[in-house]
Amino acid sequence: MKSLITFLALTTLPFCGFSQSVYNGNGKTGFGNPVGFGQLTINDDGTNLTLHLIKGSGDLNDAVVIYIDSKAGGFSTTADFTDAGDDLRKAISGFDGTNRSTLTFPTAFTPEYAIAFDKGFGGIWELIGNGSHNYVTSANLTPSGTSTAPDYQLTLNKSAIGITGTIEFKFLVTYLSNTAYRSNEFIGTTGPENNIEWNPFTVTSYLSYGAPLSLSFTDISARSINNLVRLYWEVNGTFENETFQIERATDGQHFKIISTIPASAAGNYSYDDQNPEGGASYYRVALVSTSGKRVFSETVMVRMAAKETFNAFLNNGNLIVQAKGLPLGAYRLILINSAGQPVLNNELRFEGSRDTYPLSLSAAVPPGIYSIILRGLNGASLTRQVLLK
């Protein structure tokens, strides 16, 4: 069968470029990945802040704590936090009255506030050592009462976290239970490989939110070269150790990072996706600062014919045929023994609703190596070998 992957249709979508601060989780999954595979976006209008957590696939069964460093002073550790008055206060303190999981913060990060939320409520507290944290106000959690929402939004006035002028602050996100049992899921630091549990942990990094990057994308395009997709883009602005993250999605919404490359100066860049997806793929490039701020390019869409796959194996006396990416329609499947004799000749119809097709084999078919031919109506065919035993 003639390969279909050589066909490429390319469309540049008329999406507008945008700038926002987007921060990814650390990729850890200790509590099921709602934070580790999550993404936090932060926006402001000069007075009010909106924080938007797009969670990973896991449910939000525990508490998210966002420590905020917005002014001078603050705490270098949670060791002196003793407030265990309710579930969110326990999470902020890392202390449930008996068990403790102390965080030691990195140099230059000394938070004074915490935004904490679970599925039921979100609030803002001023941190107090050896006493009760000072409740400031609600964080206006939306939605509430559910652990399975795909995303959660918080809104607050900048004064609630001690900001009077330009909105700039440092932050760190952690995820733990109301018994202070801490996961390894963070936004802002790498975290350990396993859950921290009721143990101390020293944080090595944090993130910053503030004025947008003085950088912009002026162009992005893509084209195919020998079955790979090559992206081209151009950027302007002043660079300070930023990086480019190349992202791809098959639905235009759920992007995954496929590569990271240095961003050294304004000018032109390119990247080759050596293993593009079949069908429609969406690409964008994120310019990421060392503090986590991001500027996104426009999105471009590449449509490639689906990659053909054809395999077969034996399972419980049935011949299992797996086919994907083939044109829809009727096919003839022929099983041929080592003497060149056909022992099975069936019609298969690929309708796109499934990829696996079981076929019953006669008990008279002896063990051995067989050739399987999958032939389309146009006469083109694919051949595989299978061991029946």
The percent of the chain in helix, strand and coil, each rounded to the nearest 5, is 5, 50, 45
Residue 373 lies in a domain: yes
Q: Does 247 score more than 90 pLDDT?
A: yes
Check: CB of residue 88 under 8 Å from CB of residue 81: no
* Amino acid 113: pLDDT: 98
Give residue-wise pLDDT tens across range 349-368: 877 666 788 887 776 678 88
Residue 22 lies in a domain: no
Range name among 8-12, 78-82, 302-306 with the lowest pLDDT average: 8-12
Three-state DSSP at 159 gives helix
Q: How many domains does the chain have?
A: 3
Q: How far apart are CA 309 and CA 200, in angstroms?
A: 50
Phi, psi dihedrals of residue 104, rounded to the nearest 5°: -105, 125
Q: What is the mean pLDDT of the chain?
A: 85
Do 97 and 217 fall within a single domain?
Answer: no
Q: Does 294 score more than 90 pLDDT?
A: no
Residue 346 lies in a domain: yes
Do 219 and 327 fall within a single domain?
Answer: no
Final residue in a domain of this structure, among 304, 321, 336: 304
Do 284 and 355 fall within a single domain?
Answer: no
Q: How far apart are CA 79 and CA 37, in angstroms?
A: 28
Q: How far apart are CA 77 and CA 202, in angstroms?
A: 9
Using CB atoms within 10 Å of the CB of residue 210, give its burial: 0 to 12 exposed, 13 to 18 middle, 19+ buried.
middle
For residues 48, 60, 83, 49, the Cα torsion angle rounded to the nearest 10 degrees is -10
Bridge-based pairing state of the strands 63-69 and 215-225? unpaired
Do 175 and 47 fall within a single domain?
Answer: yes
Final residue in a domain of this structure, among 186, 209, 232: 209
Residue 89 lies in a domain: yes
Do 161 and 72 fall within a single domain?
Answer: yes
Write the CB contacts of 331 (distance below 8 Å, at least 6 apart in sequence). 347, 348, 349, 350, 374, 375, 376, 377
Residue 112 lies in a domain: yes
Domain of 338? 309-388
Give residue-wise pLDDT tens across range 59-83: 999 999 999 999 999 999 999 999 9
Do 153 and 73 fall within a single domain?
Answer: yes
Do 183 and 109 fall within a single domain?
Answer: yes
Cis before 342? omega within 30: no
Half-sphere exposure of 209 (CA within 13 A, CB side): 27
Do 254 and 314 fall within a single domain?
Answer: no
* Amino acid 164: pLDDT: 93
- Both tokens of residue 114? 């915490």
Long-range CB contact pairs, 149-153, < 8 A, 24+: 149/55, 149/60, 150/54, 150/55, 151/52, 151/53, 151/54, 151/55, 152/52, 152/53, 152/55, 152/60, 152/117, 152/122, 153/50, 153/51, 153/52, 153/53
Q: Does 25 score more than 60 pLDDT?
A: yes
**Which whole number is the average pLDDT over 289-294?**
69
Q: How far apart are CA 43 and CA 21, in angstroms?
A: 7
| CATH assignment at residue 340 | 2.60.40.3080
Q: How far apart are CA 226 and CA 235, in angstroms?
A: 26
Residue 59 lies in a domain: yes
Final residue in a domain of this structure, among 209, 240, 263: 209
Do 40 and 56 fall within a single domain?
Answer: yes
State the pLDDT confidence band at 306, using cuts at 50, 70 and 90: low
Do 253 and 379 fall within a single domain?
Answer: no
Write the CB contacts of 4 (distance below 8 Å, at least 6 apart in sequence). 305, 306, 308, 325, 327
Whole-number percent of the chain with pLDDT over 90: 51
Do 199 and 218 fall within a single domain?
Answer: no
Cα-trace Rg, the chain = 27
Distances from the Cα of 224 to the Cα of 268, 272, 273, 278, angstroms:
18, 9, 9, 13
| CATH assignment at residue 218 | 2.60.40.10
| CATH assignment at residue 72 | 2.60.40
Q: How far apart are CA 188 and CA 109, in angstroms?
A: 12
Q: Please tell me whether the overall predicted TM-score, pTM, comes out greater than 0.85 for this model.
A: no
Q: How far apart are CA 325 and CA 327, in angstroms?
A: 7
Do 198 and 245 fall within a single domain?
Answer: no
**Which whole number is the average pLDDT over 95-121?**
97
The kind and range of the H/E element at 88 are: helix 87-93
Q: How far apart are CA 55 and CA 67, in angstroms?
A: 18
Residue 159 lies in a domain: yes
Residue 150 lies in a domain: yes
